[in-house]
Structure 1
Amino acid sequence: MAPTNSLRRTGVALLAATTLVALPAVGAGTGASAAVAAENGSRTWHGGWAASPQPPTAPFAPNWSEQGFFDHTVRQVVRVSTGGTRARIELSNRYGTTPLRIAGATVARTDEGASVQPGSVRRLTFGRERSVTIPAGGTVHSDGVPLEVAALQSVTVTLYLAEPTGPATFHSFASATSYRAGGDHRYDRGGAAFEETSDSWYFLSGVEVSGGPAARRDAVVTFGDSITDGVGSGIDADNRYPDELAERFAAAGEPRGVLNHGIGGNRVTNDTVWAGEKGVTRFKLDALSEPNVGTVVVLEGINDFGGNGWQGFPAGPTPEVSAEQLVEGHRSLIRQAHAKGIKVIGATLTPVKGSFYYTPVNEAKREAFNRWVRTSGEYDAVADFDRALADPADPDRILPAYDSGDHLHPGDAGYRAMAEALDLDAF
């Protein structure tokens, strides 16, 4: 979705002119031995945290993606939704045009800001090597390391990038602070060296855990646009609706992976030059590639309707999309999920009255699409986010208490209401 004033310090991603498809994961890492591959393959890994990769660009505000890194340490803090006794990370060079060299990496339990807890720093290896080269378009997992981490606990991943990376694969709207320092500071416990900050994530696309109490095939992927991504929520607050859903699972004594694959501005039916490939394309790459997924929640389509008439997008409007075309796009997502034995929950599109997306034509499309979600029976279950957020006095508008201020994106209270509207038994 389009940026509000509160978003202008956050970068957004550009879709490359030629779409690059991620190569298969590089096993346990370049040069991985058969023993390491067997160890990683035999262990049951669960997604603890995830973010969808995006191509580098910065149309709204500066970030580090276009310039990339050279002799920099990048420290990123993420909260895992389920815990375990071992951890590993996933790094993506999906949109890189040259091989990416990671000189070294660590993972630790977070203290405050860029600092980490004493005694928790673990050196990460890749096929038992301290460094790894990820081919252009590729993805790599680190080897697993012993690290006790609880559900809803934050971990800090630190990457040392000694050689020029070129433009960086990243995730634009992180709603979280990343840190950068010159030189090699991957083992620093304190955060004093990390004087630069950004509101995006770089190269890091996943944190996985094993050895925890939950071994069922029960991870949940939330898939969509900026409302899934958490635009409008507080920075470093972990108040996106997927975060709030993870808190509900933990409070019920059944923590499980809740993996956020929202991209701000993304659409179901059309690629965009700043918000990634269309949903029907990236669904397989992002949502369905996660380990041990049982359910996907799909909330996407308001950009398909709103973006075609709004000139504020960096590349201008995209083609007109009808309610019927959006329905066909969602049917593709349903078929893809069911082909892998994954349950899929469809969400109604949330109110937009008062926003730059609102027109009588767009509202008629939104209402027609929502009727299909509610009544067709094609989704396995329905999440009625429209009614959860609507103002009873004006149902086409977000309740003011839930509004971030742009009449399009919820604020923290709105995201909490969305999570509470989900029936946990549906999972």
Structure 2
Amino acid sequence: MRTTNTLRRTALALLTTATLALAPTALATPDHAGSGSPWRGAWAASPQAPTAPLGPNWSEQGFDNHTVRQVVRVTASGTRARIELSNRYGTTPLRITGATVARTSKGGALQPGSVRTLRFVGRASATVPVGGTLLSDGAPLPVKAFESLTVTLYLAGETGPATFHHFAGATAYRADGDHRADLSGSAFTETSTSSYYLSGVEVTGGRDTARRDGIVTFGDSITDGVGSATDADNRYPDELAERLAAAGRPRAVLNHGIAGNQVVNDTTWAGEKALTRFREDVLNERGVRTVVLLEGINDIGGSTVNFPAAPTPDVSVTELIKGHRTLIRQAHAKGLKVIGATLTPVKGSFYDTPANEAKRDAFNTWVRTSGAYDAIVDLDHAVADPTDPDRILPAYDSGDALHPNDAGYRAMAEALDLDEL
């Protein structure tokens, strides 16, 4: 009988382990997540496959006996926090030896007394399966909107190429060895402007626990914030969250832009097409009510340039509209409101051709007049030069005639009608 019971316990343990390892998303249990309180997104980044088209990063090599620190600014408050880790594009299971979350001090340093060890179903270490996503248990750390948190991951073994987000708009820090609980940032001598494995931060608790009014901004580099200052949180989704709070209408705003991303075409360097990633990146977000959809300029221009990879197949305006209609249907089926955005000017940029401009104008006319969205925001007009409407206003230009600077992103955020949101 003792042998039989032992075999049963062993079989049950193996079954439990296998279930956790194979599940694409392993949710924290209610006891560890904060008595079953609802969670909502406070920060997000869309995962990408390892690549280095725009400069060196750590994604292709991965990590081996490294500690990685990543600073994020949340846009929602709570009394507990947890993180989401993605191994969506990994080729081997990802072993997390240990992780912490803390309030950010300066650079790679942490505020004393704020460091919390993160656990995964009660354990200090965890494995994220190939293609999977893992949520930590909730950590007792009161968080305020617009506060910066530092997530530290210790990766003791070889990870292989890393799922990451190319343009983080913030500095990540790396150290050799285990420094997950260090208050000082002195060991973190290497830096990167990409993020690694970290795809979300969620909060629960406090007076806003039951709110389900978050906003996802979805798109390409202009949503991702290319052209804005690093570590300044001045991308248009950041500015929108600040504007909402200043108006006494605070909402979580999550950024799911990927630089170079397209609606219709997959690319080797800018993520899977929107038609594929929309379900994972947007529809699975917790606490969201509205999505702002700004994407298509790379579909229009991608077939006419040879940077940073080979040109992508030509996309007609009809195909681009069909793609947007599909995204709208998917969002509506999930109960989300969709705000469509016009494509911003490209005159003087590497996308500037008569054919591309004609496509942009035709698509923008459809956005303004089709009635396909629940509401629209005319970002084209918001940043255009009134004396030359096909060109971005010089005061808003980051320097490439395509991507706004901090002032341009602020103008985009101000163009959104808060009542429509």
TM-score normalised to structure 1 length: 0.92
CA separation of 1:192/1:218 partners in 2, compared to 1, >3 Å: closer, same or farther?
A: same
Residue 365 of structure 2, aligned match among 357, 363, 371: 371
Task: Extract unaligned runs of 5+ from structure 2.
Answer: 1-21
1:295 maps to what in 2?
Answer: 290
| Correspondence for 2:101 | 107
Aligned to 1:202: 196
Say if 2:229 is the partner of 1:240.
no
1:77/1:156 contact within 8 Å kept: yes
Q: In 1, distance between residues paired with 2:199 and 2:318?
A: 33
- The answer to whether the aligner puts 1:174 opposite 2:165 as a matched pair is no
Report 1:40-119 matches (<5 A): 42-119=36-113
1:271-299 CA distances to partner (integer Å, 9 max, x unpaired)? 01111111111100101110011000000
Q: Distance in 2 between matches of 1:118 and 1:92?
A: 28
Residue 273 of structure 1 is matched in structure 2 by 268
1:4 aligns to what? none
Q: Within 2, Cα distance between the matches of 1:35 and 1:169?
A: 28
Residues in 1 aligned to 2:410 and 2:403: alpha-carbon distance in whole angstroms: 13
Give SS of 1:306's match: helix
Find the counterpart in structure 2 of residue 283 from structure 1: 278
Counterpart in the other structure of 1:313: 308
1:27 matched to 2:21? The reply is no
Is residue 30–residue 36 contact of structure 2 (8 Å, CA) maintained in 1? no
Aligned partners of 2:41 and 2:285 also within 8 Å: yes
Q: CA deviation at 1:57?
A: 1.2
Contact persistence 2:54–2:308 (CA under 8 A): no
Q: 1:132 aligns with which of 126, 140, 150?
A: 126
Q: Secondary structure at the match of 2:142?
A: strand
CA distance in 1, matches of 2:179, 2:36: 33
CA distance in 2, matches of 1:204, 1:212: 24
Letter in 2 for 1:25: T
For the 8 Å contact 1:23–1:137, the answer to whether it is kept is: no
**Counterpart contact for 2:82–2:137, Cα < 8 Å:** yes
Name the residue aligned to 2:244.
249
Q: Which residue of 1 aligns with 2:5?
A: none
- Compute the displacement of 1:35 (Å): 5.8
**Cα distance in 2, alignment partners of residues 48 and 234 from structure 1:** 21
Displacement after TM superposition at 1:312 (Å): 1.8
Q: Does 2:184 correspond to 1:190?
A: yes
Gaps of 5+ in 1: 1-21, 29-33
8 Å CA contact 1:346–1:381 kept in 2: the answer is: yes
DSSP-derived class of the 1:107 partner: strand
**Count of matched residue positions in the alignment of Structure 1 and Structure 2:** 399
Structure 1 residue identity aligned to 2:59: S
Residue number in structure 2 paired with 1:18: none
Q: What letter corresponds to residue 26 of structure 2 in structure 1?
A: V
**Is residue 351 from structure 1 mapped to residue 330 from structure 2 by the alignment?**
no
CA distance in 1, matches of 2:65, 2:327: 41
Rg comparison, structure with higher value: 2
Cross-structure match for 2:223: 228
Q: Counterparts of 2:405 and 2:206 in 1: how far apart (Å)?
A: 32
In the aligned structure 1, how far is the partner of 2:58 from the partner of 2:264? 29
RMSD (CA atoms): 1.2
Instruction: Give the residue type in structure 2 aligned to 1:253.
Output: G
Q: Measure the CA separation in 2 of the matches of 1:317 and 1:307.
A: 6
Contact 2:46–2:258 at 8 Å: present in 1 too?
Answer: yes
Cα separation, 1, equivalents of 2:250 and 2:59:
33
Answering whether residue 141 of structure 2 is matched by residue 147 of structure 1, we say yes
